[in-house]
Amino acid sequence: MIHLYAFAKNLRSLPVERGVEGSPLEVCEVEGATAVVSRLQATPLQTTHEALIRHGLVVEALLDHADSLLPVRFGERFDDEDGIAAAARRLRPDVRSRLDSLEGCVEVGVRVVDPRREEPAVRAPDGTGYMHAELELSRARDRMVRALHAPLDENASASAVGAPGAGGVVHTASYLVRREAVPAFTRLVDGYAATHPQLTVVCTGPWAPYSFAGEAEAAA
């Protein structure tokens, strides 16, 4: 059973990381792209913490070893190289063009939490007051998020914004940023955080561009 981690462009060398179940990493050329794989015992897919983390560590380690990386979601396994080639061939133009478009780019994650969003629901004397208060809250959150997202989006090649979630999360997004532009991008986040001290603002990266590799996952 072959476990697939990522497609790479101009892979210079393999990282020292071991693959899932301690398996050594290998490369196989499929349809003009380099697939990074490892061979496992032919057992049913075991979705364990260790396997998930190991897969992620391999992908992150590969980030520094290639000009471009198309990560593949955990769980793509094939019987042999032909299976990988067949999967890649289905969307070969996408895989190759994706690798080209992602060249020199990394993913940066930004998450903003507003502790006030966890406060009890709006209290109002009547229904009209409640609706107006909720509308104003919604507008204020939109303004707050736009003030952060707009400049970040301008300085990114692409962005993927998630829906606000539980736990007071008002903004969660991934940005595709050129590697050399990450420090300037981070300064933008710092500048926003400094003017919004009431918020928790976290910026992480550089990550492999998982959020911008959709076609590769479909191909695999």
Partner 1 sequence: MSTGGGIAEKLLSAQGDLVAVAGGLEQLDDVFPRRVHADPETVERGLAQLVLTLIELLRQLMERQALRRMEAGALDDDQIERLGQTFMKLAERMDELKEEFGLTDADLNLDLGPLGNLL
Residue numbers of the site for partner 1 (CB under 8 A)? 47, 49-50, 52-54, 57, 60, 73, 108, 111, 113, 115, 118, 120-122, 124, 126-131, 134-135, 138, 162-163, 165-168, 182, 186, 189-190, 193-194, 197, 199-207
* Minimum separation from the CB atom of position 93 to partner 1 (A): 23
- Residue 165 tokens, joined: 């979630």
Q: Which is nearer to partner 1, 30 or 105 (CB)?
A: 105
* Minimum separation from the CB atom of position 103 to partner 1 (A): 21
66: left (phi over 0), alpha (psi -120 to 50) or beta: beta
Strands, DSSP E only, in the chain? 2-9, 25-30, 33-39, 68-71, 77-78, 105-113, 158-162, 169-178, 200-207
Q: Which is nearer to partner 1, 80 or 134 (CB)?
A: 134
Q: Which is nearer to partner 1, 7 or 74 (CB)?
A: 74
Q: Which is nearer to partner 1, 30 or 77 (CB)?
A: 77
* Minimum separation from the CB atom of position 9 to partner 1 (A): 23
The Cβ of residue 87 has, within 10 Å, a number of other Cβ atoms equal to: 22
The Cβ of residue 151 has, within 10 Å, a number of other Cβ atoms equal to: 15
